[in-house]
Amino acid sequence: QPSTPTDIDDRLDAAVAAAEHGGTVALDSFRTSLDVETKAEGSMDAVTAVDRAVQKRVFEFIGERYPDDAVVGEEDDALKTVPEEGVAWVVDPIDGTNNYVAGNRVWMTSVAVCRDGDPVAAANYAPATDDLYAAGAGRTSRNDTTAAVSDETDLESFLVNPIFGVSRSDRRELSAVVDTVLAEFGDLRRFGCAQAALSGVAAGELEATVSTVELNDWDTAAGVHLVRRAGGRATDVYGNRWRPGSRGLIASNGEAHDMLVETFDPET
């Protein structure tokens, strides 16, 4: 059980190494011809052999160092939810597979460490731009510098990045969020990579991310920790502190967070 800051930093170093290692494996096949499958007939939810190979390598890397820790991951038959107790690693081998497949640069290998369900260390590595976002018990870093959320307070200047999948129902909800963002906020970004959106909030590249649908913990856990350690806030759509399994996600620089929640709360 990592409980002291040293234990967490030890896991952080391994999370960074795992994300960099996995990301480098994926980079080897970036912009090559790939066999793309979809997870359901006719859907846009793509997966490649690279997604699976990267997760396998990252799991091996973690297993060699921390054989007693649980591992959660998107691909194959890995554990899909973060256990309430103990240490769990949460891995998205490629977040932004549709970008990866299309040759767009916005995709990340994401590794988070949770203790008793709370993220305590996180590493998001974007191999195509060689950007690393990391946070343990201390501050968030982007590459060699400390990262902090933006100090923008004016909602009309906020850049907001919605995080949604590509199913019909996700698109309907996204459409409503897009209308609201364009009507009430500064401008819209849609990266197609949840962890890049969250990393961006942590580093002050944008002000907020919003999702009103159920995301998986590998889409969110690392980024939530980065945002918190960078001085921002992360809640569910109702404004409750985000936890694995939470419904929806609103992460922001913390300025006007309650206003954001009020704007996107599905019950109001």
As annotated, the binding site includes: 74, 92, 94-95, 219
Binding of Ca ion by 69 (CB under 5 A):
no
Judged by CB, which is closer to ligand 2AM: 57, or 115? 57
Measured distance CA(91)–CA(103) in Å, rounded: 22
Judged by CB, which is closer to ligand 2AM: 7, or 74? 74
How many positions of this chain bind Ca ion (CB under 5 A)?
Answer: 5
Binding of Ca ion by 236 (CB under 5 A):
no
Q: Which H or E run includes 153?
A: none
b/e map 191-204, b = 16+ CB within 10 Å: bbbbbbbbbbbbbb
* Interface pick for Ca ion out of 7, 20, 69, 74 (rule CB under 5 A): 74
Judged by beta carbon distances under 5 to 8 A according to partner kind, the member of Ca ion, ligand 2AM, none in contact with residue 2 is none
The sign one gets for the Cα dihedral 43, 36, 98, 123 is: positive
* 95: nearest Cα among 197, 168, 175: 197
* CB closest to Ca ion, residue no: 95
Binding of Ca ion by 92 (CB under 5 A):
yes
Judged by beta carbon distances under 5 to 8 A according to partner kind, the member of ligand 2AM, Ca ion, none in contact with residue 165 is ligand 2AM
Measured distance CA(126)–CA(122) in Å, rounded: 13
DSSP 201: H
| Residues near ligand 2AM, by CB under 6 A | 45, 74, 92, 95-97, 163, 165-167, 192-194, 215, 219
Measured distance CA(222)–CA(122) in Å, rounded: 5
Residue numbers belonging to the annotated binding site for Mg(2+): 74, 92, 94-95, 219
Q: Which two tokens stand for residue 205?
A: 């590249």
Binding of Ca ion by 217 (CB under 5 A):
no
Residue ranges in contact with Ca ion by CB under 5 A? 74, 92, 94-95, 219
